[in-house]
C-alpha cells in the first residue's frame, strides 16, 4: 500500500525525543516561574522591551516544538503499513475530532474569560493527543488479541 502523506518511520523517534526535551524544558520553566507559558499583555503602544521579545520567542519555540513532536509521533509510518493500519489511522483521526469538538463545545458553554483562552491554547494540541492515544491503544488491542488467539 502506498501512503503519500506520512513521515518516514524514523520521524517517530525524533518526535518522541523532541517531545521529551520540550516537556523537560516546560517542567523546569514551570518550576522556576510558576507557569508553563508566560503571556504578556501589551495594553499600550510603547516599544516592546527586549526581555518581552525573548519571552515571546521562547514561548513560540516551545509551542512549535510540541506541535512538531506530536505531528511526528502521530503521522509517521509504522514498520509495516497495510490497509488495516490505514483504516485504523482514519478511524482514530475521526474519533479524535469528534471527542475534541465535543469537549470544546462543553468548554464554550461552561468557561469564560481567561479560562476559555487557556482552553483555546490547548485546543491546538488536543486533537493530536487524542489521535495518538486512540491509534496506539487500538494497535495495542489488535496485537494483544492476535497474541491471545495464537495461545
Determine the pLDDT at residue 60.
84
Q: How far apart are CA 68 and CA 19, in angstroms?
A: 8
Measured distance between the N- and C-terminal CA atoms of the chain, rounded to whole angstroms: 30
Determine the pLDDT at residue 49.
67
Exposure of 69 by Cβ count < 10 A (0-12 exposed, 13-18 middle, 19+ buried)?
A: buried
Domain ranges of the chain: 1-79, 82-151
**Spans in the chain with pLDDT lower than 70:** 1-3, 33-50, 52
Q: Which set of grid coordinates corresponds to residue 131?
A: 489521535
Q: Which set of grid coordinates corresponds to residue 73?
A: 509521533
- DSSP conformational letter for 40: -
Determine the pLDDT at residue 45.
52
Closest CA to 15 of 79, 73, 61: 73
Determine the pLDDT at residue 5.
86
Amino acid at each position: 500500500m502506498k501512503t503519500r502523506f506520512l513521515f518516514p518511520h524514523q520521524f517517530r523517534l525524533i518526535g518522541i525525543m523532541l517531545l521529551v526535551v520540550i516537556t523537560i524544558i516546560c517542567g523546569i520553566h514551570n518550576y522556576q516561574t510558576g507557569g508553563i507559558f508566560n503571556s504578556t499583555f501589551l495594553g499600550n503602544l510603547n516599544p516592546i522591551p527586549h526581555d518581552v521579545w525573548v519571552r515571546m520567542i521562547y514561548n513560540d519555540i516551545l509551542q512549535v516544538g510540541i506541535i512538531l513532536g506530536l505531528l511526528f509521533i502521530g503521522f509517521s509510518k509504522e514498520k509495516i503499513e497495510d490497509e488495516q493500519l490505514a483504516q485504523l489511522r482514519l478511524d482514530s483521526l475521526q474519533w479524535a475530532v469528534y471527542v475534541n469538538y465535543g469537549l470544546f463545545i462543553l468548554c464554550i458553554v461552561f468557561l469564560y474569560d481567561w479560562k476559555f483562552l487557556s482552553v483555546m491554547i490547548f485546543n491546538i494540541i488536543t486533537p493530536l493527543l487524542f489521535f495518538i492515544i486512540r491509534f496506539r491503544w487500538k494497535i495495542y488491542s489488535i496485537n494483544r488479541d492476535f497474541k491471545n488467539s495464537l495461545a
